[in-house]
Amino acid sequence: MDQLKKKHLESQGWKIGTVSDFLELTPEENALIEIKLALSRSLKARRQKMMTQVELAEKIHSSQPRVAKAENGDASVSIELLIQAMLVTGATLQEIGTVIAEAG
């Protein structure tokens, strides 16, 4: 956002900040969200090269809608499911670690 627009909004009583500020997230909560989103994006990219959502769902004993939620960063999807799905796509522990490390 450009500074002129920001100053105008603030002069009108609007508060400018980040999503983390608005939701009052701790640094740890924010980091966890960023990790889950990074894993979701990576899973989707890997899966699209190899198989359908239905095929991945069968391999992780889940459903296609659950895989879709995982790939879209739905908050209801656990990190465990994301990592399990990544492993099924052939990701190594090092690759998963790199995704997590680059999330921050």
- Cα–Cα distance measured from residue 74 to residue 71, given in angstroms and rounded to the nearest whole number: 8
- Cα–Cα distance measured from residue 20 to residue 60, given in angstroms and rounded to the nearest whole number: 32
Each residue's pLDDT tens digit, 29-67:
999 999 999 999 999 999 999 999 999 999 999 999 999
Q: Answer yes or no: pTM beyond 0.75.
A: yes
Each residue's pLDDT tens digit, 59-92:
999 999 999 999 999 999 999 999 999 999 999 9
Domain 19-102: give its CATH architecture. Answer: Orthogonal Bundle (1.10)
DSSP state letter for 18: -
Domain chopping of the chain, boundaries: 19-102
